[in-house]
Amino acid sequence: MSKRFFLIVLDSFGVGELPDACLWHDEGSNTLGAIRNHPAFRCPNLRELGLFNIQGVGGGVPSPKASYARMTEKSMGKDTTIGHWEIAGVVSPEPLPTYPNGFPEEVIAEFEKRTGRKVLCNKPYSGTEVIKDYGKEHMETGALIVYTSADSVFQIAAHEDVVSVKELYHYCEIAREMLVPPHNVGRVIARPFSGEYPFARTANRHDYSLVPPSDTMLNLLQKAGYDTISVGKIYDIFAGSGVSESNRTSSNTHGMQVTEALQARDFNGLCFVNLVDFDMKYGHRNDVAGYAAAATEFDVFLGNFLKNMREEDVLLITADHGCDPATPSTDHSREYTPMLICGKGVRSGVDLGTRSSFADISATVLEYFGVPQEGTQGESYWSVVKK
C-alpha cells in the first residue's frame, strides 16, 4: 500500500510573537490573533483539529482531533525561503542579506549593464504602491522597477505590454546569476503587472530562489525512491532541488483545487503545498478581512479533504513565518507557527508543546517514511503521535 504525506504551508499564518521578536521590531505581532475575531473568520474544522489548543493561542476544544504544537523558528530570519528550508530540515544560523536603503550602486550598475535597461526606484516598497508610483515612468521609458522589502528579495516589476513575461523572467535569471555573496539574496521575484493606472499585478509572478546549502528532506525522500510533489511556489523556494513533480498555481483557490486532484491520485511520497495568498494578498496589504475570509475558504477545503483521506494518509498543516495584517508594518513578522498533524494512523489530542525548530517537521516526515535524516536537522515526534 502506498504511503502519502500531505504537508500544507499556510504562508504567513503565525500564532504569536517569538521571544526574540524585538530584534525584528515585531513586538506584539500575532497573525491568528488579528483575524480570529473578525466576522469573516469561520474555521470549525481547524478549531476541531486543535488550532486553538496550541500553547499560547487559547480557546481550544475539549477533545481535539489532531495532535498539535507551537513551532519555533530557529533560523535567523522571518522570510519564506529560510522558513521553508527549516521546515525541510535546514537551519540557517546567518540571516540572508537585506537592503533597507536599496541595493548598492555597483549591483544596480551591473544589472543595468547586463539587461540593457535602466532601473527605477531601488528602495524598500510595497508591491502595489510601487507600480502606482513608478508605473507611468516605466511605461514611458522602458526602465525596470527594482525594489526590495524587509525580506531578502530583489523584485523586478514591469508592465506586460512593455516587457513580455518571458523577457522579465530572463531579467530575473540574470539577477539570480549575478547576486552572489555578499549579495546572495534569498529570492529574485518577477512582478509583472498590467492594465491602466493605477495598474494591477498579474498572476505571472515567478520566484528564483537560492539553491539550499545542503540536502533537504526533499532530496533524501527522492533518493530513497519516493515521489516529491510540489504545489504552488515550493518548487521555486527550493530551486527545484529534490522535487520530482511541480504544480504551479495562481491563487489559494487554485492551489487547493490542485491538492484535491492529487488527493484523488495514486502516488507514494510527499505532497508539499504552499498557499501564498494569505501572505501575498492579505498579510502584506494589511487586509484583515481578506485574511480572515481566506482562512474560512481553507477551512471549507479542509473539511472535504479530511473526509477523503485514505488509511495510510497523513496531513500536516503549518506555516513558514507570520505577517500580521493588523500592525502598521506590511512586512513579515517573527512569530511562532502552528502545527496540526492528523490521519487514521495518528493519535488525536497529543499536545507536543512548543518545539525548538521548524525542522522537527522534516524529521517527522522522514521517520514516517523510514528514511534516515542524513545531515538534516530536527527531532522527530512521529513515534509520539503514531497509533
Q: Write down the pTM of the prediction.
A: 0.91
Q: Is residue 341 in a domain?
A: yes
d(CA 101, CA 90): 29
Q: What is the pLDDT of residue 253?
A: 98
Q: What is the pLDDT of residue 257?
A: 98
Q: Is residue 43 in a domain?
A: yes
Closest CA to 275 of 217, 310, 318, 246: 318
Q: Which three cell numbers stand for residue 29?
A: 505581532
Mean pLDDT of the chain: 97
Q: Is residue 100 in a domain?
A: no
Tell me which of 209, 225, 245 is where a domain ends: 209
In this model, does residue 333 exceed pLDDT 90?
yes
pLDDT tens digits, 175-211: 999 999 999 999 999 999 999 999 999 989 999 989 9
Indicate whether 268 and 222 sit together in one domain: yes
- Residue range 112-138: mean pLDDT, rounded: 96
Binned at pLDDT 50, 70 and 90, residue 371 comes out as very high
Q: Is residue 110 in a domain?
A: yes
pLDDT tens digits, 48-86: 999 999 999 999 999 999 999 999 999 999 999 999 999
Indicate whether 224 and 200 sit together in one domain: no
d(CA 298, CA 302): 6
Tell me which of 181, 209, 237 is where a domain ends: 209
In this model, does residue 1 exceed pLDDT 80?
no
pLDDT tens digits, 201-251: 998 999 998 999 999 999 999 999 999 999 999 999 999 999 999 999 999
Q: What is the pLDDT of residue 203?
A: 87
In this model, does residue 43 exceed pLDDT 90?
yes
Indicate whether 124 and 38 sit together in one domain: no
Per the structure, how many domains does the chain have? 2
d(CA 95, CA 222): 28
pLDDT tens digits, 10-28: 999 999 999 999 999 999 9
Indicate whether 201 and 118 sit together in one domain: yes
pLDDT tens digits, 79-90: 999 999 999 999
Q: What is the DSSP string of 2-37?
A: --EEEEEEETT---SB-TTGGGGT-TT--HHHHHTT
In this model, does residue 2 exceed pLDDT 90?
no
Indicate whether 277 and 139 sit together in one domain: no
Indicate whether 251 and 195 sit together in one domain: no
Contact between 70 and 338 under an 8 Å Cβ cutoff? The reply is yes
CATH code of the domain covering residue 299: 3.40.720.10
Residue 198's domain comprises 105-209
| Ordered alpha helix ranges (H), 144-276 | 165-178, 217-223, 234-237, 252-263
CATH code of the domain covering residue 126: 3.30.70.1250
pLDDT tens digits, 275-296: 999 999 999 999 999 999 999 9
- Residue range 115-142: mean pLDDT, rounded: 96
Q: Could you give the percent of the chain with pLDDT greater than 70?
A: 100
Binned at pLDDT 50, 70 and 90, residue 151 comes out as confident
- Residue range 346-368: mean pLDDT, rounded: 98
Strand-strand pairing, 144-148 and 4-10 = unpaired
Indicate whether 163 and 46 sit together in one domain: no
